[in-house]
Structure 1
Amino acid sequence: MRALSEFPADAAASIRGVFCDIDDTITTEGRLTAAAYGALERLSEAGLAVVPITGRPAGWCDMVARFWPVAGVVGENGAFYFAYDGATRKMIRVFTAGAAERADNKRRLDHIEKRVLAEVPGAAVSADQAYREADLAIDFCEDVPALPPGKVQHIKQIFEEEGAVAKISSIHVNGWFGRYDKLSMTRRFAAERLGVDLDADKAAYVFVGDSPNDAPMFGFFPNACGVANVRDFAGRIEAEPAFVASGRGGAGFVEIADMLLARRRPGAG
């Protein structure tokens, strides 16, 4: 991981879009600051496609897609994307799994929930679970006293023992059934909403994140950036970002946005 100051100027000048995590990447200690929201707006107004890629639930993502200055949002770690079409006043909702499959998966996740709460004292179902469509989020530090790493790993292990995929974010362990992740749905969003083949054009996009569930994105995008708190997961993340900001959370996101906008080539994108 290199300092953000080493981000190549020619690469920054030709960036056409920014994919970004939300929690502890755009937010700071659970809050969205005016500066971070302003950075989203400045990126969008400059002509860059801005797309949050988050583990947060469908209910939150509907609001993000509708009200934030973004091209769309990928939610629940890749279970879906939402994009609001202002011209037709329609919310476009695309899911990996159909309604029947999601209902069956929910029954299986309910069993995992019971196991986790019985086997890992101090863990809790995330406060935003009621707004989720496809996964189960277990809170290990957002609204509960922080659990030690061993207990967090135990939660992940329970999901995997039951045949689910599990990813650790900065606040939750998210688990689901299905062969998808943040990257797979980001590829689909880019193709269907931006008309972009990310495999051929990934150098023209930046991903910004902070935690282990961002590893697929860090590993895919050559110009991936982390906010400074990604260093908290050193040794516990499968792929690291190429560059790291000096600021944590939203301050780091603003730092990355400022760098991209300062070096942007007129007419790029």
Structure 2
Amino acid sequence: MRAISDMPADAASRITTLFADIDDTLTNDGRLPACAYEALERLLVAGIAVAPITGRPAGWCDMIARMWPVSGVVGENGAFYFSYHQDGRRMRRVFAINDGQRADDRKKLEIVRARILTEVPGAAISADQHYREADLAIDFCEDVPPLPTGEVERIKQIFEEEGAVAKVSSIHVNGWYGTYDKLTMTRRFASDVLGLDIDVEKEKIVFVGDSPNDAPMFRFFPNACGVANVVQFQGRIEAEPTYVTRAEGGHGFVEVANRILVARRKRAVA
């Protein structure tokens, strides 16, 4: 991982789209700092399409799509995207899996839920589970005392033993049934909403993240950035970002936004 200051000015100035995780990427200690929210707005005003790509639930994503300065949001690790059209006052909701299959999958996840709570003392169902449409989120450090790494891995293993996909974030282990992930739904969102083919335009896209469940995005986007706290996952993450910030969380995200915006301004006056 190279310092964000090493991102070539020419590459930074050509960025047209920014995707970013939320927890511990836009936030610090569970809070969204004003500087990170302002950076989202500055990017959007500068003409850069912005979208959070998160593991957070549908209920949160509805609010984010409506109220944040973003073009849309991919939620529950790729289960759906939401995009709110201000002019028509209409929310566009697209899911990777249909309603009937999601209902069947939730029944199977109840079995996984029971196993995890029985076999991993100290684990808990995430506080935002009531607002989820497609996955099961197990809290290992957000509202419970942090679990040892081995116990977090055991949670992931139980999901996989039950035939589910499981991804570890900085606060939850998320599990679901289906072949989607953050990247597959980001590709669909970009095409449907932004008119963007990410396979062709990936050099002009930045993804910012912080944890193992961001690995598909880190691997795909050549200009992917990690905020400083991603370093704690070295050796436990399938793919690392190209660049890393000095600061953690939302303050690191501001470094990425500033690198892009300053390069764009310099290019405009050159």
Name the CA distance, whole Å, in 2 between partners of 1:27 and 1:44: 19
Q: Which deviations, in whole Å up to 9, do the C-alpha atoms of 1:6-29 show, x marking residues without a partner?
A: 101100010001000000000000
Give the SS at the match of 1:266: helix
Please give the alpha-carbon distance, in whole angstroms, between the structure 1 residues aligned to 2:240 and 2:62.
29
Q: CA offset at residue 5 of structure 1?
A: 1.0
State the one-letter code of the partner of 1:238: E
**C-alpha distance in structure 1 between counterparts of 2:4 and 2:48, whole Å:** 19
SS at match of 1:144: coil
1:87 Cα deviation from its structure 2 partner: 1.1
Q: Match of 1:233?
A: 233
Could you tell me which residue of structure 2 aligns to residue 74 of structure 1?
Answer: 74
Measured on the aligned residues, the alpha-carbon RMSD in Å equals 0.8
Cα deviation for residue 85 of structure 1 reads: 0.5
Q: Distance in 2 between matches of 1:63 and 1:173?
A: 23
Q: Which residue of 1 aligns with 2:268?
A: 266
Q: Equivalent residue for 1:170?
A: 170
- What does 1:143-158 correspond to in 2, within 5 Å? 143-158=143-158
1:57 is matched with which residue?
A: 57
> How many positions carry a matched residue from both structures?
267
Q: Distance in 2 between matches of 1:164 and 1:202?
A: 29
Summarize deviations over 1:132-158 as a string: whole Å, max 9, x none: 000000000000000000000000000
| Distance in 2, Cα, partners of 1:69 & 1:239 | 29
Residue 216 (structure 1) aligns with: 216
State the identity as a percent: 68
| Equivalent-residue separation in structure 2 for 1:31 and 1:242 (angstroms) | 26
Q: Name structure 2 gaps, 5 residues minimum.
A: none
Give the C-alpha shift of residue 255 in structure 1: 0.8
The DSSP-based 3-state class of the residue aligned with 2:158 is: helix
1:110, CA displacement in angstroms?
0.6
CA-to-partner distance for each residue in 1:225-260, whole Å, 9 max, x for gaps?
000000010100000000000000011001111111
- 1: distance between equivalents of 2:172 and 2:262? 34
Supply the distance in 2 between the matched residues of 1:3 and 1:36 (Cα, whole angstroms): 19
Tell me what 1:126 maps to.
126
Runs of 4+ in structure 1 off by over 4 angstroms are none
Counterpart Cα distance in 2 of 1:72 and 1:266: 27
Report 1:70-219 matches (<5 A).
70-219=70-219
The TM-score with structure 2 as length reference comes to 0.98
**For 1:106 and 1:31, how far apart are their aligned partners in 2?**
29
In 1, the alpha carbon distance for the partners of 2:29 and 2:147 equals 17
Q: 2:245 maps to what in 1? A: 245
